[in-house]
């Protein structure tokens, strides 16, 4: 039965009542469809990469994403676009164990300022970062002791290659570092 059927008692014919009911139903259906489409667009925009208006203030990356709140954040380090790290405060400490390849050797070292440290060491390639301090570095030196050539240099052989490949699954080392730094700054 049509919800407008009682109007028939007031002199409105049943076919008019049915037409109004159909029109209301069509309008509601169209409104729901439009709302669902808008929601899908919003979800797509939230997860789709888009160009940042300017490089990320923390890592310099140019690609962003919309967060659940609609804020624009760096797709690489998740730093909220528009926020600026306080120049008056030191950056938080993020210790890393680094793996540098030079020819067929790998240096396993640690630093809290990897850009500065790696700039002072001759190497062919940065293989990986692992979040950790001197204790983890020393643990890795013990783990790969049979490959040690001297100091912090090791032969780039299968066991070390497997370990580095595992670390690389986390992505580019500098991208990982940017994410770790961003997470510390947001604490």
Q: Is the pLDDT of residue 136 over 70?
A: yes
Q: Is residue 107 helix, strand or coil?
A: strand
Q: Which two tokens stand for residue 44?
A: 């797509």
Q: Is the pLDDT of residue 174 over 60?
A: yes
Q: Is the pLDDT of residue 41 over 90?
A: no
Greater pLDDT, 110 or 57: 110
Region 38-60: mean pLDDT is 70
Residues 6 or more apart whose CB falls under 8 angstroms from that of 84 comprise 57
The 8-class DSSP code of residue 6 comes to G
> What mean pLDDT, rounded, does the chain reach?
83
Residues 6 or more apart whose CB falls under 8 angstroms from that of 133 comprise 95, 97, 110
Cβ atoms of residues 130 and 166 within 8 Å: no
What is the C-alpha end-to-end distance of the chain, expressed in Å?
60
> Can you give the pLDDT at residue 19?
61
**What dihedral do alpha carbons 6, 7, 9, 14 form, nearest 10°?**
-90
Q: Which two tokens stand for residue 148?
A: 């040690």
């Amino acid at each position: 039965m049509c919800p407008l059927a009682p109007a028939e008692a007031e002199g409105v014919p049943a076919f008019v009542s049915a037409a109004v009911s159909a029109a209301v139903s069509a309008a509601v259906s169209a409104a729901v469809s439009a709302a669902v489409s808008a929601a899908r667009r919003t979800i797509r925009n939230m997860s789709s990469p888009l160009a940042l208006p300017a490089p990320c203030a923390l890592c310099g990356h140019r690609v962003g994403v919309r967060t659940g709140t609609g804020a624009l954040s760096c797709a690489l380090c998740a730093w909220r676009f528009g926020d600026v790290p306080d120049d008056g405060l030191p950056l938080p400490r993020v210790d890393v164990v680094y793996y540098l390849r030079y020819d067929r050797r790998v240096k396993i070292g640690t630093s809290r300022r990897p850009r500065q440290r790696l700039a002072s060491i001759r190497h062919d390639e940065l293989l990986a970062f692992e979040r950790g301090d001197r204790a983890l570095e020393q643990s890795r030196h013990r783990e790969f002791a049979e490959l040690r050539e001297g100091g912090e240099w090791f032969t780039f052989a299968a066991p070390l290659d497997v370990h580095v490949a595992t670390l690389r699954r986390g992505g580019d080392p500098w991208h990982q570092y940017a994410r770790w730094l961003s997470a510390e700054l947001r604490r």
